[in-house]
Structure 1
Amino acid sequence: MKLTVDQADLAAAVGYTARSLPSRPPVPVLAGLLLDAADRRLRVSAFDYEVSADTSAPATVTENGRALISGRLLSDIVSTVRGDVRLELTGSRMLLKAGSARFTLPTLPLEEYPALPDPGPTAGTLPGPALAEAVTQVASAVSKDEALPILTGIGLRHDNKAGTLTAYATDRYRFAVRTLTWKDANLPDCTTVIPAKALTDATKAATDDSTIDLSMPTANSGLFTLRTEHHTTTIRAMEGELPKYETLFPTEFTATATVEIAALKAATQRVALVSTKKEGPIKLTFTTDNTLTLEGGTSDDAQAIDNVDTNLDGGELTIAFNPTYLTDGLNALTTESVESVQFQFTSPTKPAILRGHGSDDQALRYLLMPIRLTG
């Protein structure tokens, strides 16, 4: 193996694949990046049996070949050098030259490295920015509790008749749902759950791609695939199902209120400062004079109160939320570039729905469980 590649191209390829490397590989070879030089391109791959990443960069290849190099070390080196990078494999050592810098790197045994998985046929196509936005939004409701692994995933549901792909997530206290219309989605109705971190990383890496081809898991492979012109990521689907969201979201409401997101976020963060516990509730009182009053703290400790303007349609209502969960929902809504949130209420003790003011049925819906107030 002998080649020359531009540092920026190599850094992009190594960065794309290195994000999939396991922090604690079960066997040493899984910490490596597979380099394959042929046909005027350098292919860079990573695989840990759960997630694979595969991409390529243009290169001047004078000698075809393959090598397995420590991914973290290669990533650190490539990010610090400049100009053309020359790679040459000599026996079990890889020589890397860039400018005045010279590195000699050991290789890992190629024969022990697993074969990359077959990504499978394309099921449908989505714009890269839209998919990345949707996944980021619903990830706001993903559970961080590893005791229930299925809640650390993001559900994907394909509706053949509607031609849509719906992403959703829950931690039992909130539920986020976002729907996308996708092209050429010619497959039966299906549902899968994908590890949230892997899916979020993969879609963020493809944000700049105009289109992404997706493959849904099958009984034979169990792999979810994202593929662009030069990048491919496969992720093994999780076993099990997330709770069904259709029956959880009410369709009739007793009151609605619209509030500017920036003002509400700032007031929420201020009032939450007096809470002795991170999850301590803040009370929201929507009044008929179009004022929203936020209150936090207890009579025995510090207390806080703040007001923001609102537009209430319905009777006066008082409800309490976990301030972190409320802020997460507001942050998720701002990725749609909306300026105001619409609250939809049925009662102070039942879940409220947050959505962008004026948004359509496919936009983010964020269902938030209230906290019962005592005293």
Structure 2
Amino acid sequence: MKATIERATLLKSLSHVQSVVERRNTIPILSNVLIEASADGAIKLMATDLDLQIVESVSAQVEQPGATTISAHTLFDIARKLPEGSQVSLHAAEGKMLIQAGRARFNLSTLPRDDFPVIAEGDLPTSFELPAETLKQIIDKTRFAISTEETRYYLNGIYFHVSDDGQPVLKAAATDGHRLARVTVPRPDGADGMPGIIVPRKCIGELRKLLDEVDGSVQISLSASKIRFGLGSAILTSKLIDGTFPDYSRVIPTANDKLLKIDPRSFEEGVDRVATIATEKTRAVKMTLDRDKITLSVTSPENGTAAEEVPGAFQGEGFDIGFNARYLLDILGQIDSDLVELHLADAAAPTLIREDDRSPALYVLMPMRV
């Protein structure tokens, strides 16, 4: 194989594919990126961890078609350090690859392409398009609630499913048992009859990075076990989590009759300030709700106490409720409007948080004892 490629093109593409590769691998070939040069002037770069696979095609001058695999992180580090604007020559033969750019020369070991594993997609019967902006919004407003607890593996991703709420919709939800985030968007053409699927956290992270460079729409094809995202020059394929996502609709409160309307920014800043003294064990922020006055306070056995009043519109009988400060800040960070609604019941019941009843995003937060 012999090809020449612009450093900027190579670097951008490698930055996408190398992040799929795990730093520590017991199987040497999984540390490598597959580089395939074809006669039509394209280089295909591919990386996998056996659950997630990315393929990206870039244009190059190909003198001699061929394919090999080389350490992904090493090649990425080399490309990063090569002079800007340089042309990078890649020449692979007899288990080695010679990389030249300017006066720099690297001779690296390679592994044969036949050893490189490829995820077999099989049949992907459901296929539809989603605007890149919509997909970004779905991910940004839900992924912070994905569980990191490996024992509850079925919560380690975002659950996508279709339903009919007066009109056909696509819903995406994530929960870790303490909080829930859900986004509802109009159902795209072709998504009818789609199975409920759980897209793993790592796939969501890689997808979100790639979406920043996509204009227009993303082509999504899926079965009950695999999903493929077409993102311009890149294709991301992932296995889905084999598990049953809990019926989260049961925890969304419908009868919370106490309504607090508050400016999300002053609320967020107030929570952040009083939480400064909270230690890990006492991360709860207490909210004392009075008529049109909210007092935020934290008591820390080691550090002392902190309190701040924030303005808010609250009608009804006052009471105290506590929340995990970090969980509350995560949710408030997703609110784009000038007003946020908190629908409360009592100090022990889950609280519903949303911008208003027309907002596509909705959050549920379990209270803490204070």
Matched, 1:97 2:100: yes
State the match for 1:360 in structure 2. 358
Structure 1 counterpart SS, 2:346: coil
Counterpart of 1:251 in structure 2 is: 254
- 1:97-246 aligned at under 5 Å gives the runs 97-118=100-121, 120=124, 123-159=127-163, 162-209=167-214, 210-218=216-224, 222-246=225-249
Tell me which amino acid in the other structure corresponds to 1:157: H
Aligned equivalents of 1:97, 1:299: Cα separation in 2: 61
Distance 1:215 1:158 in 2: 15
Q: Write the distance in 1 (CA, Å) between the matches of 2:23 and 2:202.
A: 13
Q: Compared with structure 1, are the counterparts of its residues 241 and 279 closer, same or farther at alpha carbon in structure 2 (3 Å cutoff)?
A: farther
Rounded to whole Å, the distance in 1 between the matches of 2:105 and 2:23 is: 27
Question: Aligned Cα RMSD in Å?
Answer: 2.0
Q: Distance in 1 between matches of 2:78 and 2:301?
A: 57
Kindly provide the CA deviation profile for residues 121-141 of structure 1, in whole angstroms up to 9, marking residues without a partner as x.
Answer: 561111112212211221111
Counterparts of 2:19 and 2:136 in 1: how far apart (Å)?
16
**TM-score normalised by the chain length of structure 2:** 0.92
Instruction: State the Cα distance separating 1:317 from its structure 2 match.
Output: 3.3
Encode CA deviations 1:281-340: one digit per residue, 9 max, x unaligned. 11112221x12110111578501110111122443232110111111111233xxx3233
Partner residue in 2 for 1:322: 324
Q: CA offset at residue 243 of structure 1?
A: 1.6
Task: Specify whether residues 16 and 163 from structure 1 end up closer, same or farther in structure 2 by C-alpha distance, changes over 3 A only.
Answer: farther
Equivalence for 2:343: 344
Q: Deviations over 1:195-235 (max 9, x none)?
A: 113212213312331211112233xxx11111122111111
Asked if the contact 2:125/2:223 (under 8 Å) is kept, the reply is: no
- Equivalenced residue count is 364
Alignment-mate amino acid for residue 143 of structure 1: S
Report the counterpart of residue 78 of structure 2 in structure 1.
Answer: 77
Structure 2 segments unaligned to the other structure (5+ residues): none
Give the match for residue 31 of structure 1: 31
Q: Decide whether the 8 Å contact of 2:282 with 2:300 is kept in 1.
A: no
5+ long unaligned stretches in structure 1: none
Amino acid at match of 1:286: L
Is 1:294 the counterpart of 2:296? The answer is yes
Q: Which residue of 1 aligns with 2:270?
A: 267
For 2:62, the equivalent position in structure 1 comes to 61
Counting aligned pairs with the same residue, the percent is: 26
Output the TM-score relative to the length of structure 1.
0.91
**3-state DSSP of counterpart to 2:213:** coil
- The 8 Å contact of residues 126 and 223 in structure 2, kept in 1 or not, is answered as no
CA 1:228/1:276 → structure 2, altered by over 3 Å: closer, same or farther? closer
* Equivalent pair of 2:163/2:170 in contact (CA under 8 Å): yes
> Do the aligned partners of 1:35 and 1:45 also contact (CA within 8 Å) in 2?
yes
Query: Does the 8 A contact of 2:138 with 2:172 survive in 1?
Result: yes
Contact 1:123–1:187 at 8 Å: present in 2 too?
no
Cα offset, 1:185, TM superposition: 2.3
Give the superposition deviation at 1:194: 1.8
Deviates more, 1:341-350 or 1:278-287: 278-287
Which range moves more in the overlay, 301-310 or 267-276?
Answer: 267-276
Q: Secondary structure at the match of 1:4?
A: strand
**SS at structure 2 position matched to 1:332:** coil
Q: Kindly indicate whether the alpha-carbon contact (under 8 Å) linking 1:151 and 1:170 is maintained by their aligned counterparts in 2.
A: yes
